[in-house]
Each structure stands twice: as structure tokens, then as C-alpha cells.
Structure 1
Amino acid sequence: MATPKKVLLSSPPDGGWGWMIVVGCFLVTICTRAVTRCISIFFVEFQTYFAQDYARTAWIHSITDCATMLCGLGFALCYSPAIAMVGKYFNKKKALAYGIAMSGSGIGTFILAPVVQLLIEQFSWRGALLILGGFVLNLCVCGALMRPITLKEDHKHPPEFLEQEYVSEAQKQDLKQLSICSPLIKPWSHECLCCCSWQEYNFLLMPDFMMLAVSVLFMAYGCSPLFVYLVPYALSVGVNHQQAAFLMSILGVIDIVGNITFGWLTDRRCLKKYRYFCYLFAVGMDGLCCLFLPVLQSFPMLVPFSFTFGYFDGAYVTMIPVVTADVVGTASLSSALGVVYFLHALPYLVSPPVAGWLVDTTGSYTASFILCGFSMIFSSMLLCFARLAKKIKRTQLRSFTRDTDTKQQIWTNGATAYSVSGDLDQKDVEILATEANR
């Protein structure tokens, strides 16, 4: 039976089946990120039923988020691969594709927040979780939409034994026996394996990626507690249960607007080269929203907050894969995204309980929200200063190179050195004259 051949594409198709990948990723974000956000609505129910403080109850949400980003378990098996697949299929329309795909988180939150509140009232929190579990089974349908794609850049420097896409079973058995029996084959195979691993993860030594990774730690710490404590905070200032759930719905639907519009805007030619700074701006604006949240103590005042925070949350969530791709390239995007989302795990695990401990200790949400705000602002400023420092260094290097090229345009005549542009200083002339005399 003839073995099907994989087609190597020179560049991502930017369409075709790629839009089905976007749809699949869209559904994945609904079933994972939106469902996780709705745990904020369960927070008060858990706290009342189990009679625990804020810090202990927050572990339920933080462990869920941490496991999604840290392990190969549960939502993690769906979320990270789906995000990486979109980056494989799109290049020119990458930000727009990610905007549509990631908007599932906002749409899911908009729909599920009031529905979950209704389910809790009708079937208690146990029944509501059971129904959500059945809904999440739709991830199986999302997985059926995913089709791997192979780009030529993925095979830039393949080892000789990996150049063939398919190897017969007999060849596999021969290779296996050789690797077991021959002591000479073992070092060779290990060397090839190390070479593949190095090519896949060499982005870890890139200064730009290291700065992005550090900033992600602070950004993830700042964004997580708000989705846990927005509903409890609203209830604490006198907002009723339906209005508190509606705040999450507003945040979710504006999140969609942020996903799509910010993705579309940053794909425009005038903003495409400034996508990095657009990401920093969105993160910084979310930080400012957190700083002002303790002042807002009524439903009419919390509605504008949900609008603003939701928009910029959707904006920077869309930009994370885009910025990562700009830093490491498309070939390493899957591995780099895995590392970036892995770095979300520790802040997601720690920040909600820490925020809960601050609420238990101080008796208010002010300290928790201020800490979150400063954490996100610091994340934005860190990347901004890193990019500015790189730009200054590049300008200095360019100036130095220009001066060097000018000084090389000389010729000697006996003991005298002449400069084409007359820009050489006296010391350089003396050194060149000495060399000429030799």
C-alpha cells in the first residue's frame, strides 16, 4: 500500500483549513479558559459550604490554573497545542487569527457566567459542576479538527537519519537492533538526539526571550486574582448575586472585542512593527485598572471597570503568542509557547492564595488589588526598558560600525596616511603611519 507523502509548505497557508484550526482553538478556549474563569462564581459557594477562609478557598482556582499551565494533564493537553497550531497555519494574518481564536475565552465567560449562576440556584454547586463537566467533553470534537502541518523551515538542519519522513518497519527494527547491539551506534544516536533537542530549545538562551519569560511571571501573578475575587468583591460592596455575575459577563464580552479588534489593528501595516509595544501598553493598562478597583464600590462604578479591564485583557492575551512568535520565530513557536504557558503556572498557583491571605489579614481587598496592579505594571515596564536598552545599544553599534568603515577608507604614501573623508583623528594617523613604515 502506497504511503502518503507529507507536503512541505514554504510558508503558512494563511487560510484554507487554517480557519477550521481557528474554530477548533476557539472552542478549546471556551471549554478551558472560560470554564476556569467561572470558578470565581463558585468561590462564595465553596467558602460557605466548606466554612473556610479566603486563602484556603482560593487554592481550588489556583490549582486548576496551575495544572493547566504546568502539567500534561487535563486542560493542558488541549489548550497549549491548539494555540500553537494557529501559529503554524498563519503568518500575515496571525494576530487576527489569534484574536478570533482567543475570543472564545470572552464569549464563553459572557455566556457561562449567568448560566452558571442560574445552574447553582437550580441544581446547587454540585449539579452545576456536573453539567459543566458534560459541556467540557466537547473538547473531543475540537481535537478532531486539528491537522498537523509541516513547513520547510521545520527541516532547515535535520539530521541525516531524520530526512526521510517515513521509515519502513524493517528499517526501524534494524535501527533498533543496531542501537542495542553496537556500542558505536549508541553515542551517534545520542548525539543526534541532543542536536535535535538543542535546535528545538535554543531559544532559551536568547536575551529577548529571557526578558519576556521574566515579565510573564509578573504579568501572570497580577492577572489571576482578579478573576477569583471580582465576584466576591462585588458582593462585599453590596452588589447582588445576579449583578455580580453580570460583571463577569460584561468582562467576557468586552474581552471578545479586545481579542478581535486588537488583533486586527496590530496586523495593519502601520502598527505591525509596533506589536511589541502594543502588548506592553495592554498589560500596563490592566495594571492601572487593578490599582483603581478598590475605589469603585458600587455596581454603576464597577461596570466601566469591567469594560476597560476586559478589553485590555483580551488585547494582551491575543498578543502573547504573536509576541512570542516575533521573538523566537515560527519554527520554535510550539516549544516556546509551551515554556511561556509553563511559566504562568507558579504565579497562578501562588497569587490567589496570597491575595486571599491579604484579605483575611487586612479585612479588605485593597492590598490584594494594589499588589496585582503593580505586578502587571512592573511586567510592562521591564519589557519596555529592555527594548529601549536594546535599541540604544543597536544605535551605538551602528554608529561605531559607521565610524570604523570611515576609518578603513585610507591609503598610505610613505610615512603619511591620508583619509578619504578627513575624519581620522591624529592618533589614528600616527598609528597608521607607523604601520606603513614597517
Structure 2
Amino acid sequence: MAWEKKKKKAGVLPPDGGWGWMIVAGCFVVTVCSRAVTRCISIFFVEFQMHFARDYSGTAWIHSLVDCTTMLCAPLGSLIGNHLSCRVAVILGGFLASIGLVLSSFATSLEYLYLSLGVLTGLGFALCYTPAIAMVGVYFCERKALAYGIAMSGSGIGTFVLAPVVQLLIEHYSWRGALLILGGLVSNLCVCGALLRPIALREREAYPLPVNSECGCGASPQGAVGPELERPPQPGEQRCLQPLQEYQFLLMPNFLALAGSFLFLASGCSLPFVYLVPYALDVGVSHHHAAFLMSILGVIDIVGNVTFGWLTDRRCLKQYRSVCYMFAVGMEGLCCFLVPLLRTFALLVPFSVLYGYFDGAYVALIPVVTSDVVGTRYLSSALGVVYFLHAFPYLVSPPIGGWLVDTTGTYTATFLLSGFALLSSALLLATVTAVRHCQAIPRNRPGKDRTREKCEAQQPDFMTTNKDLLIRNPATL
């Protein structure tokens, strides 16, 4: 017993397998039940319009509220996961999301659905989404990108499978019965939460290292450790400082640059999903072919999740994950700039393939690059902030895109806005990375300066002047 307690206290390295694959499976189901179900809510819009005699703009707020609440309350999921456990957060979130869908099946007005389906279900998804994603980063280090690629592919696979199933459920059981059945499906989130077995990593690996370390889990491949605390805090002081320590990453310049990039990304990434089908219909593509474009986009999204995750786990690309992320987002922006030139179904198919692939690629890399910047210790809190930053752009960018269509009479300005936002996301991160790289060059100069810095670093007396150094060791020159 004493040996087991000592082992538990010491912690372990990320296993990169074993029960970690069950964590990936649980996170996969979480993305199916949260992101895929959210996308399928739009299938109910026609039924809601007919039953409640409301227009499309009124019913569209349901989807916006679910998406916005899920992202807006993501920090709450991180908070519960940090202070209780990820298992508790996901089980509680699954219960709330299921109750929200079940209560929605008894809706008597659209305002009722705003609260039950929009707010309550969205809150449940928020409590599940961030802790489940953070747990994958805790269990994986060497194969982190692949694990995230598989876990995040649940959104595309779930949409591909659930969309026709939901339509059949509505036809056979009405929209009320379909929502009731979806509530039962989403209750499986509680089972997924039970799979999230906590794991204690070694304390020294909890501190974040620089971004260029090969392994973003808090320990470098050479066995280097993060910075130690100068003075261990007292128990009372530790309790007071704990909430602040969880968000210390907000002062990291690398994370602030990443956060700015995510804001631009969220402003542009949803517009093609909303306006691709209307644009295709506007240029003369049939309804069947226009819907097929979205199917292509969804399937290739899955391919991008898994293959790009696998590629960026290779030794030659692992230290360039942020560059791969910038490349994927930038390619999406270029694809959007080309859309106004694509006016036939044959030309829009390559767009769906390319955009879908790079969309899946960057989605899989968001938690990976976040982990590489902040380390495993802060990953849950950082992901909560990251997804919180998506909330407002997700809420306002589709209406802005629609306003541009109404104002200009074409979809050109909308797709150009999407492309500009995505390219700005990639260029912001690339600029900051280039500046920090240039600042690091003088510190890595070979020859005399580097020898002197090495000598100074080895000197135990930090108050020693350069003059004293030369007197003690004139051979440094």
C-alpha cells in the first residue's frame, strides 16, 4: 500500500497508448454528441417554422445560441474539470444536455426552445467538450496530433451519419419524437465521462516549456524539466493563489499571439459552411448537387483530421506543428478567395475537397498547438479560453455575411471576408513567430559572445560583473 501511494504521488509519464485510446474513443463520442448534434439542429428548422409560424431568422437563433453557449461557457467546463475532475464535468454536462433535448420535445413556443435547446443543451455541451479534449492531451505526448485527429473526426463522421438519421426520425416520429430520441443518444455522454480515468503526471512535467521543445507535454525529449518554484507556498497561500495560477498562461506572449489568431480564425471559418450551398444554388447548381458539395466537405474533413494529425506526429514535422497549423489556415483562406471564380459544380467540387481537408487539419491541430504553447498543466484552462474566444465571432459572423449578401446582391464579398479573416489568422501567427525567431538569433550567436554567455550562465555568483569574470577566467576570450 505504501509503495502504491508513493507511485501515485510521484506520477507517471503520458502513456501514449493503453487506456489512452479509450480516452480518445470517449472524446470521439463527445464530439459526435456535441458538435455533430449541434450541426443537425438546423434540420429541425423547417418543422419549427411550420409548427410555430415563425420566419427563418427567428428559428436560426436556436443554432446560434447552442453554438455560442457551448463556446461561451467553455471556461466553466475547464473550471469544473480542474477543481473536481474531467469525469465529473463530462457526466454533469451529458446530463444537462440530455435534459435540455428531452425538455425541448415538449416545447410550446420558440422562446421555450431558446432556453431549453439553445441555453441548457449548449451549457451541457460546454461542460463536456473542453474537459474531454484536455484529457487526450494528458494521455498522449509522442502521438498527440494523431490522437486528436481521431478524436476530433467525430464531428465530421457524426454529421455524415446523423444528418440522414435525424431526417428519418422526423419523418417517422415527428420533430418531438426525434428530439426525445436525440436526448437519449446524448445521454451516452455520461458513459463517456465515466471512461475519463484521471492520471497524475509527474509534478516536474507540469510546467510549460518553450514552444520549440519536441514534446509539448511539459518535458523535453532530453529529459529537461520545467522551472521549479523559488519558494514553496504555504497551504493557505497556495489555496489563495491557485485560481490565479491556473490562468498564468494569459501572460505568455506566445499564447496571446495564438489567441489573436484564433479570433480571426473563428470570424472566417464558419462562413463557407453557411453560404456554400446558397452560393451554389445562386450560380445555377441543382439542389441535389449543392447538397452533395456539403457531403464531400464533411467526408474530406474527416480525412484531414486523421491524416494531418498523423503527418504532424512524424519526427521531421513534430517541431513544426505551428507552421503546419498556419499553412492549413492560410490554404483555407486562399480557397475562399477563389470561390467567386468557381461558377459550376465541376469547379466547386475541388473547393469542397481542399477546404474540407484543411478545415479538418487545423481543427485537429488547435488543441495540439495550444498544448505546445502552454504545456499540459494549463491545457484545460487554456482550451476553455480558446473556445471562449470562438463564441462571439461564431455569433456575429454569419449575420454579417448575410448583410453583405443583402447589400451587394452577390456572395463575393462574403467569401472574400472569410478569406481575409483566415489569411489574417495565419499571417498574424507567422509574423509573431518570425519576430521572436529574429530576437532569438543574437542569443544564439557563435563565437565570443556565446562563449561569454555560457561562462556567465555557469557562474554561481549572479552579482559578478563581466570584469570580474574576465579576471577569474581570462581564457573565455
2:358 maps to a residue whose letter is: F
Q: Which moved more, 1:383-392 or 1:354-363?
A: 354-363
TM normalised by structure 2 equals 0.72
State how 1:176-191 maps to structure 2 within 5 Å.
191=237
1:151 counterpart SS class? coil
Unpaired runs of 5+ in structure 2?
77-122, 208-233, 457-465, 468-473
* Residue 312 of structure 2: aligned partner: 266
| C-alpha contact 2:45 2:56 (8 A) present in aligned 1 | no
* CA 40–241 in structure 1, closer or farther in 2 if over 3 Å, else same: farther
Which residue of structure 2 lines up, in the alignment, with residue 61 of structure 1?
63
Q: Distance in 2 between matches of 1:376 and 1:45?
A: 34
Q: Distance in 1 between matches of 2:128 and 2:374?
A: 22
Q: Which residue is equivalent to 1:176?
A: none
Alignment of 1:414-433 (within 5 A): none
Residues 140 and 242 of structure 1: CA distance in aligned 2, closer, same or farther (over 3 Å) = farther
Q: Spell out the pairing of 1:161-180 with structure 2 (5 A cutoff).
A: none
Residues 53-100 of structure 1, C-alpha deviations (whole Å, 9 max, x = no match): 66x654333222111111141211111111001001011111111011
**CA separation of 1:110 and 1:148: change in aligned 2, threshold 3 A:** same
Q: Please list every run of 5 or more consecutive structure 1 residues that lacks an aligned counterpart in the other structure.
A: 158-187, 413-418, 423-438
Structure 1 distance, partners of 2:415, 2:335, is 9
Question: Of residues 151, 156, 164 in structure 1, which corresponds to 2:201?
Answer: 151
Residues 12 and 200, structure 2, Cα contact 8 Å, conserved in 1: no
Output aligned runs, 1:219-234, within 5 Å.
219-234=265-280
Aligned position for 1:373: 419
Query: Which amino acid in 1 is paired with 2:151?
Result: A
1:143 positional shift:
1.7
Q: Say whether residues 1:294 and 2:344 are aligned partners.
A: no
Matched, 1:92 2:142: yes
* Range with greater deviation from structure 2 (270-279 or 29-38): 29-38
SS of residue in 2 equivalent to 1:16 = coil
Alpha-carbon offset, residue 33 of structure 1: 1.2
Q: Which amino acid aligns with 2:63?
A: H
Q: CA deviation at 1:401?
A: 9.0
Rounded to whole Å, the distance in 1 between the matches of 2:341 and 2:155 is 27
Distance 1:130 1:235 in 2: 33
Q: Alignment RMSD, CA only?
A: 3.3
Tell me how far 1:44 sits from its aligned partner: 6.7
Matching residue within 144, 153, 161 for 1:103: 153
CA displacement, residues 384-423 of structure 1 (integer Å, 9 cap, x when unaligned): 01000000000023339953746999x99xxxxxx8798x
Separation (CA, whole Å) in 1 of partners of 2:372 and 2:475: 41
Change (3 A) 1:231 1:400: same
Larger radius of gyration: 1
The alignment status of 1:17 with 2:63, answered yes or no, reads no
Aligned twin of 1:70 = 72
Q: 1:257 to 1:47 in 2, by over 3 A?
A: same
Identity rate, percent: 67
**Alpha-carbon distance change, 136 to 301 in structure 1, aligned in 2, over 3 angstroms:** farther
Question: Which runs of structure 2 are paired with 1:392-403 in the superposition (5 Å)?
Answer: 392-399=438-445, 402-403=448-449
| Greater RCO, CA 8 A, separation 6+ | 1
* CA shift digits 1:287-328 (9 cap, x unpaired): 122222233333333222221111101100110111011101
> 1 CA distance for matches of 2:335 and 2:198?
40
